[in-house]
Structure 1
């Protein structure tokens, strides 16, 4: 087994210091076509390799000036990149043979490299790659400060750490423009990594330092976004956010340059739309996004195309929320047609197509995400739902397995997979998934409902009742929990409680299964007329169901 030693200290190269060195070792000997398949991941982690790994998957933003690239990658993008890099490493080692990687200064690695090491250990067989931690002797120099790269790639942890360090030694008076730009970037990254308090402190510092209108409007907008998007829902305050976003709109409405005003005011109106959504005023939000689109179409026909497509996608989301699905679909399509290389809106359009029953088109959109992006857990999760609806349980299970391989903290995938385990009678696996899911989402009513089903199947009746009760407390409209609690009551001979729960379930959703089950309880309680009425209604809803036909008295 070959052995290589790599120093991961982020002071050497910032984000992906380890990854860049590992790729430098593997890319020159990679199997033909493999590097091209992971071009985004390699070019993101190792900029020096861009000359030998051309960009195959490109987005509209790649050819725009930085000022027009308004979509900054989110903090979760690095996990997708890490998964793609792990797959590339596996492809290389399957050809070249196993490798032992000793990582020096792992404790000093940037977030991106620490995440990559975790993914490599999780996804690659130790017979192929052994990652071991070497000694620690961190350097003492300054952190790299490639802030344009950090912003473009969404390296929020590095932007926050290095940016705060630079801001300590930089006064506003030294270079107001540089100071303002860096402060905005650092504060945005602090917000992205859940450090909103520090971001807010920076925005307050900016308000004390300068009077530039555009800068003050940007800071007011950013403060409003903290107040409506805070990681802790209890700390969100849409009313205070409205005050701040109105400050931004007031300022940008007065900018003298027509095109500059159209862009900045449109940006702020779009932000105000989110505030109005959080205030429960969706129609007002849609009007605001419409105004922003009008400004862009009238005054920015030849610039800021990413800004326009974001506005179309945001209006699509609002239209979908209002039940205007065809109009929403048209706006998503406008956004995708404007930038066919950007994956995220395919995911949103696919979800809408699935809701409309256009599952073949939905699958095509989810698979477009898979082609265009580094491994995207949501695309596999959403495809699993389409496959499940089509009766492809094996395909749905495979997609859920892959979703959780890519992201073991993707709680909704545990919900769906444990449901498949219950349907297959595999209660130990279902319990394992429920327990994992509840660690991530302890108040998820669906997980608690499945836990109740597992406890019921294993005849742990008190525990089952507790789980169903908790599920219904959190999700009073959760039909499977009412049905599960009814089955529990029936098993324990409490027909009255079983009838009450089944009747509540049927008020929420009338299905032949629920009617059939209630007929069984009615019959056990000696209420034959009511049992027959339920069976007759079930037969109308499911005329081909053999169990229902056999149960009907002749």
Structure 2
């Protein structure tokens, strides 16, 4: 297989054959400039030939290439996507872009396979100037797509890349000779150079063009920016509103008006889709061009768009001063109320653990509740009071006062039903029902939790996370088949995210569907190779199934990523045992236990190795250490009893078998039989031999 390729310099260049080349510079179209360029060219044709493939990936296609919305059927709508901006009270998690990237990866691989001309050759240029969404997509794309299906050529200019993309290029791409970028044509005068710079939408790296732009008459520059923004808007392509158009309007004749409005709309759009790095960029640029004294509302909204995005990305310490600055600038009641809520959420939910202060959060939210109660408009007063009290409910949950949280949510739902028309704030009503279901779950009231989660699904049937949550409740109620069905529905409604497949794999394992569990755990590891629990579970199931050779690459890849991970070192030892390499197995097990001395599975495996070598004392010592960590494990007690029995220590064996018989999950028939033989030895009535002992402990649970 020819590898993917990476060149510092332009990609592609003359003489290189590619099927499709795109410029990824975020100044052109913002988030997903590169991926969106590919999708805009491939999807219309694919929709005609393979509508099922496009339908399966509508959410990710329309998120990255919004211009296609008029060409394709709409993706499944949720109350979140349908809510008007002032009623949108839910935001996407930061990892939503990973889900979109995985879905786009699978669409492009499927497109290439169905088209039959392999490999599809795609070139992505100026990737170091791409938005983090494109860089994340390319890192995943390079890792997941075989170069004999889609071959990728990445061009950069030497600027730093996102760490994940750097790692993917280092591992999956061949480095090509570095090439300089060609300069623009010679002999151009100042006016032509100036126009070329403006027409490049701020992305030109030609020194002559940038110099001409700096030297040009300011009024001439302004006029060119206005004209270019108008020309681009005539094209009616929404993604241009996320890159080139706001850039021009910031530099046009009305930066604080048209420029700030364009940046706010870009921030609003990207915030609704979870493109939080771009939101920070737009908000920060917008704050710099508006007058905080005369444009209070615009300054406030641009500021909070940026700070809210920082919070979602975990940059909470960086975000907090913005809220404090706004509170010190303005006495506006709604601003004080909204920033108070934001600060409360920082201190109860988002800040690092060492900075959280639930009582301080309670103080902020109580102030916001007081302000909400004084709002003159009855409907706004009702909604904001309920919204703020929902925040207080979360704080009460964090303080362990679950019953109080439940009362607040119940009261909020009752108030919305009494005081607001049924078509108002449908999204927040569903959020309250969902929160009440989670409160019931925390109280252990599973039947009531199930009722509320079923109700919220009826309110918002296309929101995948609700099925994910209901699956958890159904599992706790013992309805494993229903839980799997909910996972199936959630998977059908969402771009891929590993948590769904992980939970479904666990459920399938409980139902005895080993093949299904292996497939789902394998997909989790394909999506996110650093998910250790999924990798360990996958390898364990493969070993239980006797698929030693299939398990081996998963262990080695895991150790490449996590060289000191004790569970993977233990599994490498199990593989060595399967190969008959006892010395290697003992070394790997020792390494695992040096890293984690209480790792029960490694202690049990080393005990088996000692038992096979006739070292009963070492086997008992390891099993005793394992029981110190997991004292209610009937399999470990059975194993230690078995070793005692083999060594002729009948009383110790009987004691272990007796204790194991008291525990749930024990193999009672086997234990009773072994205990009887040992007791017979103690009573002097055995027919002969050491209790009939043969073989070795089964070491159930050793992995």
Structure 2-normalised TM-score?
A: 0.70
> Is 1:29 the counterpart of 2:45 in the alignment?
yes
> 1:459 offset after TM fit, Å?
0.8
Contact 2:623 2:636 in 1 (8 A): no
CA distance in 1, matches of 2:531, 2:30: 28
> Is 1:553 the counterpart of 2:659 in the alignment?
no
1:388 aligned partner: 509
Shift in alpha-carbon separation, 1:524–1:233, aligned structure 2, 3 A:
farther
CA distance in 1, matches of 2:107, 2:25: 23
Shift in alpha-carbon separation, 1:69–1:434, aligned structure 2, 3 A:
same
1:342 aligned partner: 463
> 1:269 offset after TM fit, Å?
1.6
Contact 1:415 1:433 in 2 (8 A): no
CA distance in 1, matches of 2:310, 2:347: 14
CA distance in 2, matches of 1:416, 1:292: 42
1:475 aligned partner: none
Pick from 642, 647, 657 the counterpart of residue 535 of structure 1: 657
Secondary structure of 2:676 counterpart: coil
> 1:283 offset after TM fit, Å?
2.6
Which deviates the most, 452-461 or 100-109?
Answer: 452-461
Q: 1:487-502, aligned counterparts within 5 Å?
A: 493-494=617-618, 497-498=621-622, 500-501=624-625
> 1:258 offset after TM fit, Å?
2.7
2:597 aligned partner: 469
Secondary structure of 1:103 counterpart: strand
1:474 aligned partner: none
Contact 1:418 1:434 in 2 (8 A): no
Which deviates the most, 371-380 or 544-553?
Answer: 544-553
2:641 aligned partner: 519
Shift in alpha-carbon separation, 1:262–1:367, aligned structure 2, 3 A:
same
CA distance in 1, matches of 2:557, 2:353: 26
1:308 aligned partner: 429
Shift in alpha-carbon separation, 1:492–1:13, aligned structure 2, 3 A:
farther
> 1:169 offset after TM fit, Å?
1.8
> Is 1:230 the counterpart of 2:350 in the alignment?
yes
CA distance in 1, matches of 2:59, 2:591: 49
Contact 2:620 2:644 in 1 (8 A): no
Unaligned runs of 5+ in 2: 1-16, 158-180, 182-201, 205-243, 248-261, 578-584, 678-703
> 1:77 offset after TM fit, Å?
0.8
Deviations 1:210-263 (A, max 9, x none): 111111111111112122233633332323222222222222232233321222
Q: 1:208-357, aligned counterparts within 5 Å?
A: 208-230=328-350, 232-302=352-422, 303-357=424-478
1:68 aligned partner: 87
Deviations 1:371-414 (A, max 9, x none): 11111221111100001111222211110111122223434323
Number of aligned positions between the proteins: 539
Shift in alpha-carbon separation, 1:299–1:186, aligned structure 2, 3 A:
same
CA distance in 2, matches of 1:40, 1:543: 48
The root-mean-square deviation of aligned C-alpha atoms, in Å, is 3.0
> 1:276 offset after TM fit, Å?
2.4
Contact 1:455 1:463 in 2 (8 A): no
Shift in alpha-carbon separation, 1:379–1:135, aligned structure 2, 3 A:
closer
Deviations 1:152-211 (A, max 9, x none): 211111001121121122222232222222222111101111221221121111112211
> Is 1:184 the counterpart of 2:304 in the alignment?
yes
CA distance in 1, matches of 2:566, 2:438: 30
Contact 2:603 2:626 in 1 (8 A): yes
CA distance in 1, matches of 2:383, 2:365: 15
> 1:85 offset after TM fit, Å?
1.1
> 1:341 offset after TM fit, Å?
0.9
Contact 1:448 1:470 in 2 (8 A): no
2:256 aligned partner: none
Shift in alpha-carbon separation, 1:543–1:242, aligned structure 2, 3 A:
closer
Contact 2:586 2:606 in 1 (8 A): no
Contact 1:370 1:379 in 2 (8 A): yes
Secondary structure of 2:21 counterpart: strand
CA distance in 2, matches of 1:483, 1:320: 36
> Is 1:139 the counterpart of 2:203 in the alignment?
yes
1:122 aligned partner: 143
1:369 aligned partner: 490
Contact 2:530 2:558 in 1 (8 A): no
Shift in alpha-carbon separation, 1:470–1:278, aligned structure 2, 3 A:
farther
Shift in alpha-carbon separation, 1:501–1:56, aligned structure 2, 3 A:
same
Shift in alpha-carbon separation, 1:163–1:470, aligned structure 2, 3 A:
farther
Mark the structure with the bigger radius of gyration. Answer: 2
CA distance in 2, matches of 1:450, 1:133: 34
Which deviates the most, 186-195 or 485-494?
Answer: 485-494
> 1:73 offset after TM fit, Å?
1.5
> 1:546 offset after TM fit, Å?
6.8
Contact 2:89 2:428 in 1 (8 A): yes
1:476 aligned partner: none
CA distance in 1, matches of 2:603, 2:370: 51
> Is 1:174 the counterpart of 2:267 in the alignment?
no
> 1:524 offset after TM fit, Å?
5.1
Pick from 33, 52, 57 the counterpart of residue 38 of structure 1: 57
> 1:71 offset after TM fit, Å?
1.6
Which deviates the most, 63-72 or 45-54?
Answer: 63-72
> 1:295 offset after TM fit, Å?
2.4
Shift in alpha-carbon separation, 1:120–1:231, aligned structure 2, 3 A:
farther
Shift in alpha-carbon separation, 1:123–1:431, aligned structure 2, 3 A:
closer
> 1:545 offset after TM fit, Å?
6.6
Contact 2:280 2:306 in 1 (8 A): yes
CA distance in 2, matches of 1:419, 1:229: 36
1:150 aligned partner: 270
Q: 1:71-90, aligned counterparts within 5 Å?
A: 71-90=90-109
> 1:528 offset after TM fit, Å?
1.6
CA distance in 2, matches of 1:399, 1:527: 45
Contact 1:502 1:518 in 2 (8 A): no
Shift in alpha-carbon separation, 1:238–1:553, aligned structure 2, 3 A:
same
Unaligned runs of 5+ in 1: 472-478
Shift in alpha-carbon separation, 1:542–1:373, aligned structure 2, 3 A:
closer
CA distance in 2, matches of 1:241, 1:486: 51
Deviations 1:439-482 (A, max 9, x none): 8xx8xxxx6456456558611254243234265xxxxxxx7577
CA distance in 1, matches of 2:602, 2:124: 49
Contact 1:384 1:400 in 2 (8 A): yes
